[in-house]
Structure 1
Amino acid sequence: MSRARTAQSASVKAVDSSINELISTQHKQQTEHGVPMNFATPVKGSQLNLSSLLADLTPRTYTWSRLKAAISVHRKVLLTPRTLEVSNLDMSQDLFTTPLRTPLPKHLRSQLLRHDSLVAGENADLSDAEKVYHECDQQCPLPWEECILPHRMKRCVKIGEGTFGEVFSTTNASGDTVALKIIPVEGTKKVNGEDQKTFGEILHEIIISKELSSLKGKQQNQTCGFIGLNDLHCVQGCYPPDFLKAWDRFDQQKGSENDRPDFFEKDQFFIILEFEFGGIDLENSNGTLASLGVAKSILHQVTAALAVAEQELHFEHRDLHLGNVLVKTTKETTGSFILNGTAHSMETKGVLVRIIDYSLSRLEIDELTVSCDISKDEELFMGQGDYQFEIYRLMRKENGNDWTDYHPHTNVLWLHYLCSKLLSMKYRGSGGRGVKVLREELTRFYDNILQYSSATEALQNCPMFQ
């Protein structure tokens, strides 16, 4: 797994070798004894792979305007049955990647099921490039300076990187810190040894980012637990000097695994996704969090976010390692979410959590299923040295290596993983009253969380959240 950074052995919590047996036994017992799963998320019957759908829209299928109406946050038209056939598409990687990232092979592909689709709409069919411009509210690519004003460029700081792009922080018009993910597209030059994404491939990332970001404004199921997408641009031109300077500073201080992005020419296209600044990932938070009380709040916030997404989108994250959970300090003492129309609150303990990176995720939008077929990616299931890699094998065992169907217990597996990591971390306030009680509470959570069928059921029934 050439680009993975595995955790140091000293920070890895030992996992019982009987974990497979434990999980299978707990599920078997629940099924055999007929324990009611009152809060398990129901499974939808109709499924279509969205990323494949985006790959090959032709005049004989249907228009982009109809597809966007079906899956965007601004739904405007009704669906009308019509047969559609589409081909496969390489999945996009790394929504917002951090140093500990899951490597994906070159040929990671989505699979398509035949499904009734939509009638042709009122607009002519658009090219993939035009679809991207449409999502960016642009008519064509713009110069860098029109999208990222020069004074914002001068403030940029590189904060992360992924195989397909770079991540910088800067400020927006209101003076708030934001994160810019910059992805080169449609060029012929390889980036970090990989082919550049096409416009068709980047559409998948854009739409998924919008859908999960939009959960913060829903009425029935609402959460701010997923990273917010603020803005979106398509630009053309060489990499700006200010960004190259920021890239060099990062390389000098931390060392970069990526190629210096100075080889792009003036005809190169880039997609810029502007996210809210989510803070620091848990991988880089060891020793910085205040207490085990913060760890408890992090688990509560992550579980709530997953539960809301389960109910609204039949969501499985499938890759919720420490690098994909961001935390930032807050003065707010409580957070809130809405689950199935009922409002709830929870203690923040001074931190807000944001979940990122949906490159392996599975969700449904208006009976369209977005899933990532990793059934043949043996490298992903061969990792050693960290519980993270065991989770991939456990997911495969549970779903029978079928990555299209909905198995929300995978979210529970990642909660188990997160709890094990939080228990092994160091905290600034390691002593004091209540620490022993908190550690015992988190340990009970670790011992019992696997019995729940979904994050929703865990949220509703786990004693730690009551």
Structure 2
Amino acid sequence: MVRKHVYGKRRAAVPSFAMSDVFSRSSPLKPPPSAVNDAVDAATKELEHLALSGDHKNDEENQTQKSPPKPRPALTTKNTNVPPPSAPVRKKSAPARKAKTKAADEPLLDSTAPTHKPEPQPADETLLESITVLPRRPRTAPTPKPLTAPPLDPYLAPLLTLAALPSPTAFDTWTTTLATHFSIAKIAEGSYSEVYRLTPHNGGECSVLKLLALRPDPTIKGKRKSPARLAREAAMSTPAAVATETRLLQRLAPIPGFSDFRALHVLRGPPGGAFVEAWRSWNKARPAADKSGFADPGRKGVYDEAQVWAVIEMQDAGVDVESLTERGWWSVWAVWDVFWQVALAVAKGEGEARFEHRDLHLGNICVKSARGGTLERPVVKGVGGRLGFTGLEVTVIDYTLSRAEMPLPPGASGDGEESAEVAYFDLETEEAIFEGDGDVEYQYDIYRYMRSAMYFSDPLARFDAKKAEGTGRKWLGFHPQTNLVWLHFVLRQLLANFPAWSQEDEEAKMAKVGVLGEKEDVVMARQKMVALEAALRQMEAMLDVSSMPREGLACVRDLVAIALEEEWLGEEDVVGC
């Protein structure tokens, strides 16, 4: 099944949208009220039982006379229960009421309250020596009971361990909170997912949400399902597959030219109202022959309360290149900038993560203007350089079928593939992708060329299952020639949008110069365009699937090396790409 129009986002050092950082996080757990009350009671009892030890006759006489109890003053180094000989005799006062225990939210000792201090008296050295003050035990905070996290759903565990919350959130509740801060619009869909754009009401950074309905747990037996429901579930994703894509997003996000991952959300239930309205608006605007391949999410019975969703949040990367080819605005400047930015991103991925995309059609390449303008008529500036003429920013998206190696754990040697954990999709389980009709669409042939390149290092080699098994190669391994097969497809599709210079008259050539900046020389721009197209045609021949083995190209990094030798690119274009 061909995957198209699957959307992504542009890498940028920006925080996740409010749902990720504000609405989806809980407050820190507080100690239970009972623990605080117990601590208060224990401290109060300690204060009440503090006493002075001493063997004095006056103490025994006072207790024998059963005189009314006096209020206990603060502890001092003097026994105030024994009046000094010089102290005047005072009349007995009414018995003091016992102080009530303070509430749990009040401090145990109020240092700001006024206290009565007895007047200074001459010290009795003999008395002082006989008084022993019992030490006060230090007050310690109560030990909180250990919190036990609820067990994860085994079927959803691969996703929940990567998600913002450890359990699914109700889709309608999540939507209601989201809609108060963002407007929601559907912008694209693919074989397994739908893509929505979130635009903040305050005009801030946009986000993109990739919604994937998850296949039900096969171990749970429910009521009998209709054929339509079974067909719908067969087109859904598995939690393990979405977890692999999420890990790839996290791995590749730091590399320039790849999607900027923000968060993963796991939801349950039918989509909320704002998503239903967005789906219907998008579908209504589509031509009759190109309506949505997904059922109306607001229709009764399409999704029940048990339906689980994975929502991948990314930064908005702009518009997919496939939709731009339909606008007819492509020029040699745009083709050059888009192709080489894709090539440099993939080459960087090869070097840093042993990356293969394995599904790099034009729908998985997004562009937006880095100059803050629109994509309708990009302005060409700096025709004297080698790259970046149009100000377009390119992002490679959708890693559903991709392969990359995760960072090695601390202390790992890195010797051999066994030392690196690999995130990949096993295409041996997706045989249908290799059975499409190439006469209908050339992209179906590319999947077969990729398979032969993986097994035999020759895109045009006839595939034989037994011979393939004998090579010992698997989709788990790193076979970067597949990236070259896809770059062949990308360049071929881009060049198909405009004819060769030799087929155009002078007026057409001047028209293709495009919108130049004020300081750009038109004659120099035309000469530069002729040189750029000649280099593109030369690369097209090098990347032809019949020529690839002869050219000795094994990966995209080899192509970048040739571009540096031919001076198509400069070191400043490659370093830090």
Q: Classify the TM-score, shorter chain.
A: 0.5 to 0.7
Instruction: Give 1:174 deviation, angstroms.
Output: 6.9
Question: Corresponding residue for 1:316?
Answer: 356
| Contact 1:142–1:235, Cα closer than 8 Å, also in 2 | yes
In the alignment, the residues of structure 2 paired with residue 139 and residue 4 of structure 1 have an alpha-carbon distance, to the nearest angstrom, of: 30
Structure with greater Cα Rg: 2
Of 405, 420, 431 in structure 1, the residue corresponding to residue 512 of structure 2 is 431
Tell me by how many angstroms 1:141 deviates.
1.9
> Cα distance 1:369–1:131, how it changes in 2: closer, same or farther (>3 A)?
closer
2:423 is equivalent to residue 370 of structure 1: yes
User: Residue in 2 aligned with 1:329?
Assistant: 369
The alpha-carbon deviation at position 131 of structure 1 amounts to 4.5
Residue type at the aligned position of 1:392? Y
**1-side partners of 2:403 and 2:423: how far apart?**
5
Query: Which residues in structure 2 correspond to 1:19-418 (within 5 Å)?
Result: 96=7, 127-144=154-171, 147-148=174-175, 149-151=177-179, 155-172=183-200, 175-187=204-216, 190=230, 192=232, 194=234, 196-213=236-253, 216=254, 223-254=255-286, 255-262=291-298, 263-286=302-325, 287-289=327-329, 291-331=331-371, 346-347=387-388, 349-365=390-406, 366=408, 367-375=420-428, 377=431, 380-385=434-439, 386-400=441-455, 401=468, 402=473, 403-418=475-490
TM-score by length of structure 2 reads: 0.52
Q: 1:364 to 1:266 in 2, by over 3 A?
A: same
Partner secondary structure for residue 234 of structure 1: strand
CA displacement, residues 23-52 of structure 1 (integer Å, 9 cap, x when unaligned)? xxxxxxxxxxxxxxxxxxxxxxxxxxxxxx
1:190, CA displacement in angstroms?
Answer: 4.5
Would you say the 8 A contact 2:401–2:425 is kept in 1? yes
How far, CA to CA, are the matches of 1:145 and 1:224 in structure 2?
35
Offset, 1:143: 3.2
Aligned length: 334
Query: Shift of the alpha carbon at 1:124?
Result: 11
1:271–1:348 distance in 2 versus 1, CA, 3 Å = farther
TM normalised by structure 1 equals 0.64
Q: Which moved more, 1:297-306 or 1:396-405?
A: 396-405
Deviates more, 1:366-375 or 1:279-288: 366-375
Superposition deviation, residue 146 in structure 1? 5.9
SS at match of 2:536: helix
**Which stretch of structure 1 is more off in the superposition, 159-168 or 393-402?**
393-402
Separation in structure 2 between the aligned mates of residue 229 and residue 397 of structure 1, nearest angstrom: 32
Q: Is the 8 A contact 1:154 1:242 kept in 2?
A: no
Inter-partner Cα distance in structure 1 for 2:283 and 2:237 = 24
Asked if residue 443 in structure 1 is aligned to residue 537 in structure 2, the reply is yes
Deviation at 1:369, TM superposition (A): 2.6
| 3-state SS of 1:327 partner | strand
Alpha-carbon distance change, 391 to 267 in structure 1, aligned in 2, over 3 angstroms? closer
- The residue aligned with 1:86 is none
Q: Do the aligned residues in 1 keep the contact of 2:179 with 2:274 (CA within 8 Å)?
A: no
Q: Tell me by how many angstroms 1:195 deviates.
A: 5.5
Answer yes or no: is the 8 Å Cα contact 1:423–1:439 preserved in 2: no
Indicate the residue corresponding to 1:105 in structure 2: none
Match of 1:165, as an amino acid?
Answer: S
Distance 1:145 1:379 in 2: 35
C-alpha distance in 1 between matches for 2:423 and 2:511 = 43
Amino acid at match of 2:190: G
The whole-number CA distance in structure 2 between the counterparts of 1:152 and 1:320 is: 36
Change beyond 3 A, Cα 1:378–1:203: closer
Tell me the CA shift for residue 186 of structure 1: 5.0
**CA displacement 1:392-423 (0-9 Å, x = unmatched):** 22222222254333221211121122111111
**TM-aligned CA deviation for residue 309 of structure 1:** 0.8
Determine if contact 1:159/1:168 at 8 Å carries over to the other structure: yes
1:233–1:195 distance in 2 versus 1, CA, 3 Å: same
Q: CA deviation at 1:298?
A: 0.9
CA distance 1:360–1:349, change in 2 (3 Å)? same
Structure 2 residues not aligned, in runs of 5+: 10-148, 218-228, 374-385, 409-419, 456-467, 500-507, 514-525, 571-577
Partners of 1:265 and 1:378 in 2: CA distance: 29
Equivalent pair of 1:164/1:192 in contact (CA under 8 Å):
no
SS of aligned partner of 2:156: helix
Identity of aligned residues (%): 24
More strand by share: 1
Structure 1 residues 454, 175: closer, same or farther in 2, change over 3 A?
same
Distance 1:447 1:242 in 2: 49
CA apart distance, 1:246? 0.9
SS in 2 for 1:363: strand
Distance, in Å, in 1 between the alignment partners of 2:389 and 2:165 is: 39
Offset, 1:426? 4.5
The 8 Å contact of residues 319 and 367 in structure 2, kept in 1 or not, is answered as yes
Work out the CA distance in 1 between the residues paired with 2:387 and 2:3.
Answer: 34
Following the alignment from structure 2 to structure 1, what is the Cα–Cα distance between the partners of residues 3 and 346? 25
Q: Structure 1: where are the runs of 5+ without partners?
A: 6-93, 99-122, 217-222, 334-344
Structure 1 residues 395 and 259: CA distance shift in structure 2, 3 A? same
Instruction: State the alpha-carbon separation in 2 of the partners of residues 391 and 309 from structure 1.
Output: 21
Q: 1:381 deviation in Å?
A: 4.3
Root-mean-square deviation (CA), in Å? 3.3
Measure how far apart 1:348 and its partner are.
5.7
Residue of structure 1 in register with 2:569 after alignment? 465
Could you tell me how far 1:134 is from its partner in structure 2?
Answer: 3.1
Structure 1 window deviating more from structure 2 (312-321 vs 437-446): it is 437-446
Structure 2 counterpart of 1:257, one-letter code? G
CA contact (8 A) 2:356 2:403 kept: yes
Counterpart Cα distance in 1 of 2:295 and 2:181 = 20
| Superimposed CA distance per residue, residues 146-184 of structure 1 (whole angstroms, 9 cap, x where no aligned partner) | 645343576111111133332111125872121111122
Displacement of 1:261? 1.5
2:399 counterpart SS class: coil
Looking at both structures, which has the greater relative contact order when contacts are Cα pairs under 8 Å and sequence separation is at least 6?
1
